[in-house]
Amino acid sequence: MARNLKIAPADWPETIFDPSTGKHEDNPASAPAGATVGMSPPGRSKGEYRSAQHEGVPMSRLGNILVELGRLEAPQVDAVLAQQAQNPRRFGELAIALGMVVRADIDLALARQFDVDFIPSTFDEEAAVLLPTQGRDAQAEVFRSVRSQLVLRWFGPEPEQRTLAIVSHGDGEGRSHVCAHLAMQLAQLDEDTLVIDADLRKPSMHTFFGVDNRSGLTDYLARDVARAPIRAVPGQPRLHLLPAGSAKPDAQALLERRQFAQLLGVLAQRYAFILIDTPPASQYSEALTAAVRASGCLLVTRRNRTRLADAQRLSDKLTRHSVEVLGGVMNER
């Protein structure tokens, strides 16, 4: 089964300051229509869960959720509330400043509070979206969820918000599978979508989509052709593919050329969504190069195959190179 993961938009404040009382109160107006504002532990009604130190004072709703999620304990919530009485900062900001939680914990709690989608900003095996092993409909639903999250978190009207690399640590982790299926879901938004096969050593996108690979990205970067040979995907009117192209001995050098960055800039003017399939990052440096050019990436892992430490090291390395790691997809295939 796939987990439904959440994210809270940054413009929904978790509390508002009431000058008449001098206190921060939960902001019900910040939640979208139909959303549930605040949660309570099983067996307690909303507002009933109270801290021991602040008897008679309802626990912060965000603190309540963090306790439910196992990120905080009640005494820690008491400590944050005590600080909040002296410091008019939001509960989550104070909890982070006190070293009790990290930003991802607050994002998850806000997501639970406002019932919206979440992808963690750093890789977390427990938080990664899971792809079911069986059932085409179930898997399509997961990809639709990932699509929605990426549209909220990454894709936008500016050219620099239109390109995303799909990366993984090792081979056989489902990176190309995720790239292809996510691209099809994006194209269903009736927006022009492009897949670039930058796995120049072991390309697969042309086989998946049934497209000719006699010329492609390598041929354009090597200046063997004047224009990038982008091909329409049969049966997908809004989906196009720039295949890897003919084999070249200097694949890494080709992607490092300024011409590749310039090409992405031109394509971003034409396509709403651009996904870049990459080779295994542990084996080939082109994966990092492609991710840097894209500025953002989605990290793919495979259950019982990818080591968490390897995935975390890759995430850290990408971050050091100014690549925004938007989250993780765990493949169970």
Domain regions of the chain by residue span: 15-114, 129-331
| Cα of 125 vs its chain's centroid, Å | 13
- Please give the Cα distance from 11 to 254 (Å, whole number): 41
* 277-332 tens-digit pLDDT: 999 999 888 899 999 999 899 998 887 788 888 888 999 999 999 999 888 888 76
Q: Are 278 and 198 in contact (CB under 8 A)?
A: yes
Question: 9 vs 28, 110, 112, 270, CA distance in Å?
Answer: 15, 9, 12, 28
User: Per-residue confidence of the chain (333 residues) as pLDDT tens digits?
Assistant: 333 333 233 332 333 333 334 443 443 333 333 332 222 233 333 333 333 333 333 446 788 888 887 888 889 999 988 888 888 777 888 888 888 887 767 766 765 665 443 434 444 444 344 443 344 566 777 888 888 888 888 888 888 889 999 999 988 888 998 999 899 999 999 999 999 999 998 999 998 888 889 999 999 999 999 999 999 998 888 999 999 999 888 877 899 999 999 999 999 999 999 999 999 999 888 899 999 999 899 998 887 788 888 888 999 999 999 999 888 888 765
Q: At 209, phi and psi to the nearest 5? A: -95, -5
> Residue 101: what pLDDT?
86
Contacts 24+ apart (CB under 8 A), 80-83: 81/51, 81/53, 81/54, 81/57, 82/53, 82/54
- Please give the Cα distance from 268 to 2 (Å, whole number): 31
Beta pairing partners, 233: 236
The amino acid that residue 232 corresponds to is A
Helix/strand/coil percent split, the chain, to 5: 40, 15, 45
The amino acid that residue 214 corresponds to is R
> Residue 137: what pLDDT?
63
Q: Where are the beta strands (DSSP E) in the chain?
A: 15-18, 23-26, 129-131, 163-168, 193-197, 231-233, 236-242, 273-277, 296-302, 324-331
- Please give the Cα distance from 234 to 241 (Å, whole number): 10
- Please give the Cα distance from 170 to 264 (Å, whole number): 25
Per DSSP, the three-state class of 26 is: strand
Fold category of 129-331 in CATH: Rossmann fold (3.40.50)
- Please give the Cα distance from 14 to 244 (Å, whole number): 46
Q: Are 274 and 264 in contact (CB under 8 A)?
A: yes
